[in-house]
Structure 1
Amino acid sequence: MGSPTTGRDVLASARESGTLRAGYDNQAPWAFVDKSNTVTGGGVEITRSTLKAIGVERLEGLLTPFESLIPGLQARRFDMITGGMGIVSKRCDQILFSDPFILARESFVFKKDSKYKVSTYEDVADQPNMKLAVDPAGIERTYATELGVKENQLVLASGLAEMIAAVKSGRADALSISSTSINTILENPRNSDLAASKAITPVLKGQPQWGGVGVGFRKEDKNLRDAFNDQLRTYMKNGETARIMAPFGFSKEDIDAAATHTSQELCASQT
């Protein structure tokens, strides 16, 4: 396994060595290890293909808890962040992002026999006895509290598996997550007792929260980010992004919608 690249020109070093290392959180369909022990997923494969097109042949993945991805990148444990990290202002203060390659809306998952009805964060706020599972490092926690959900209504669960377990055990009445993960949840036979709401775009202070997802880079690696962005834009225009991500259940509609946004815009407007 390679080591994170060092030096002033990360892209030049990576082209010479043929490898970049990416941190990822284990969350299908964005990033996960398949049956052949290969790191894959929609976010991973668009990253891998884009890197190859700019002269970096291999992408190595380093499994990292979501909340440790940005600190790990800054500490040079890896060279970039792949998977499903949303582009929001508080993260943009710490790292650079590529332009978004998809817009990820929000959905709620609950038991089919739940006594609560939920399709928006406001629905949760209006039912004060309802408990909502969220990842402590995920943007859903911000959406919930900004839209009226009380802290004592939140059940903090790290990662999708823990959130599902919280709902199944009754510790939470629902979980909130990117709508792109819904098929992965509901297609699992072990989750036949679960259902999901329709996807929504939360609105905070009059600003739609688009859920743009991109690849993260260190602030000092702007040349790598810019080269990646140039190639990604080509893929967004010619349909390659949709082709690469379709096998993981991502919709062409959500991918095409991302093409009208930039990381600069999202960094300035997304909470």
Structure 2
Amino acid sequence: MKKLLYVLLLASFLMLLTACGGSDDTASGEDEGSGSTLEQLQEDGSVTIGFANEAPYAYEEDGELKGASVDIAKAVFAELGIDEMDSQLSEWGQLIPGVQAGQFDVITAGMAINPDRCENAAFSEPTMQYGEGLIVEAGNPLGIESYEDIANNPDVTVVVMEGATEIEFLKSEGVSEDQIQTAPDIPATFSAVQSGRANVTTGTEMTVKMALESADTDALEFVESFEQPDIEGVPSYGGAAFSLENTELRDAYNEKLAELKEDGTISELLEENGFNGETNFVPVDAVTTEALCSGEA
């Protein structure tokens, strides 16, 4: 009886060892087969891009995704062996949550790199730099030529795209929160000024200037005499952004981005999209994302 019990226990132990060994092999096989995000994208030949309609950075025209940020991303991913871009339109304020949730592999919208955003997304090295601009009612009846002018007149209301860096820029120049409205996109900010719900709107210089050209209206004007604020964050440095868990893809992107900066491709793409290939260009290591994220630049 004892001998039979011993045999049964030994058999059970051997079966348990076999089962454990099989599980380890299976897990190992899954790990080997899963690969990195970069490898998966290269295998698929496609990357999912999140963008917001904000010309000339990223925008949709006749069903096609265009813009400087888009063209730069296309060039970089092509160097990585990824030729197709699955573009997905999103509201500006949902871009970072979207890349965090895995809805996008990358977001590309000329988004300014700053410490707060760096806590929630892994930014590439800067792809461009840019200043700010103002749009007012035609004739500029209130004489607004700076953020300080807005701050000094409590009756002035400014409307800004939701989630844009200009909100904090305005506050740092003394504009009170009750003077600031938000809207989901640039066309909505223009509508607010045209309807009289706001007196002025602000955004990056190229964005508001090109948006005004597209709007083709005599009711608004771009303030040519605008005084750039002397504050941290101006000029802004824009880049692509990835999930914080996807730094390998970000690092691979940065490597190819640097090569395309050095051979003149990035400067050419900026010029093709209405930017200045010199003043809007950021040379390799001139300003780094590490410095921008730490607030040192």
Taking structure 1 as the reference length, the TM-score comes to 0.90
Q: CA deviation at 1:34?
A: 1.7
Shift of 1:253: 2.8
Query: C-alpha offsets along residues 10-37 of structure 1, whole Å, 9 cap, x if unaligned?
Result: 11111111011011111111111222x1
Looking at structure 1, the residues matched to 61 and 46 of structure 2 have their Cα atoms a distance apart, in angstroms, of 21
Deviation at 1:200, TM superposition (A): 5.3
- Code of the residue aligned with 1:158 in structure 2: it is P
In structure 1, distance between residues paired with 2:176 and 2:282: 32
Retained in 2: the 8 A contact 1:103–1:211? yes
Q: Distance in 2 between matches of 1:185 and 1:224?
A: 32
Which amino acid counterpart does residue 258 of structure 2 have in structure 1?
A: R
Are residue 23 (structure 1) and residue 25 (structure 2) matched?
no
For 1:146 and 1:60, locate their aligned partners in 2 and report how far apart those are by CA, in whole Å: 38
The one-character-per-residue Cα deviations of 1:41-88 (angstroms, maximum 9, x if unpaired) are: 111111011100111111111111111111111111111111221111
Q: Decide whether the 8 Å contact of 2:49 with 2:105 is kept in 1.
A: yes
Worse-matched range after superposition: 50-59 or 111-120: 111-120
Partner of 2:12: none
Please name the residue that 1:227 is paired with: 252
> What letter matches 2:196 in structure 1?
G
Point out the structure with max Rg over C-alpha. 2
1:38 CA drift (Å) = 1.3
- For this pair of structures, how many residues does the alignment match? 262
User: What's the % identity of the aligned pairs?
Assistant: 27
Match for residue 187 of structure 1?
213
The SS at the match of 2:290 is helix
In the alignment, the residues of structure 1 paired with residue 279 and residue 41 of structure 2 have an alpha-carbon distance, to the nearest angstrom, of 31
CA–CA distance in structure 2, aligned partners of residues 27 and 191 of structure 1: 18
Instruction: Report what 1:3 is aligned to.
Output: none
Which consecutive residues of structure 2, in runs of 5 or more, have no partner in the other structure? 1-33
Select the residue among 165, 175, 179 that pairs with 2:201. Answer: 175
Amino acid at match of 1:33: E
2:275 to 245, 250, 260: 250
Letter in 2 for 1:131: T
Q: Secondary structure at the match of 1:187?
A: helix
**Structure 1 pair 200–235 and aligned structure 2 pair: CA distance change class (3 A):** farther
1:25–1:258 distance in 2 versus 1, CA, 3 Å: farther
Residue 187 of structure 1 and its aligned partner are, at CA, apart by: 2.0
* Partner residue in 2 for 1:12: 39
Q: Deviations over 1:176-202 (max 9, x none)?
A: 100121331232362233222346553
- After the TM superposition, which segments of 4 or more aligned residues of structure 1 sit over 6 Å from their partners? none
The structural deviation recorded for 1:245 is 2.6
SS in 1 for 2:216: helix
Partner Cα distance (2:215, 2:203) in 1: 19
Counterparts of 1:211 and 1:235, CA distance in 2: 21
CA contact (8 A) 1:209 1:270 kept: no
Partner of 2:241: 216
Partner in structure 2 of residue 164 of structure 1: 190
Q: 1:52 aligns to what?
A: 78
TM-score between the two structures when normalised by the length of structure 2: 0.83
Q: Which amino acid is 1:23 matched to? A: G
Deviation at 1:100, TM superposition (A): 0.8
Q: 2:229 aligns with which of 202, 214, 226?
A: 202
Quote how far apart the aligned CAs of 1:113 are.
2.4
Contact 2:114 2:233 in 1 (8 A): no
Whether 1:42 and 2:42 are equivalent positions in the alignment is no
Determine which of 142, 164, 189 is the counterpart of 1:116.
Answer: 142
Q: Give, in angstroms, the shift of residue 167 of structure 1.
A: 0.9
Unaligned stretches of 5+ in structure 1? Answer: 1-6
Distance in structure 1 (CA, Å) of the matches to 2:148 and 2:35: 47
Asked if the contact 2:202–2:208 (Cα under 8 Å) also holds between the matched residues in 1, the reply is: no
String of CA shifts for 1:118-147, please: whole Å, max 9, x gaps. Answer: 232112101111111112211111111121
2:171 is matched with which residue? Answer: 145
SS in 2 for 1:203: coil
Q: For each residue in 1:200-248, what CA deviation from the matched residue of structure 2 results, as whole angstroms up to 9, or x when unmatched?
A: 55333xx353210000011111111111111111222222112123222
Partners of 1:114 and 1:173 within 8 A in 2 = no
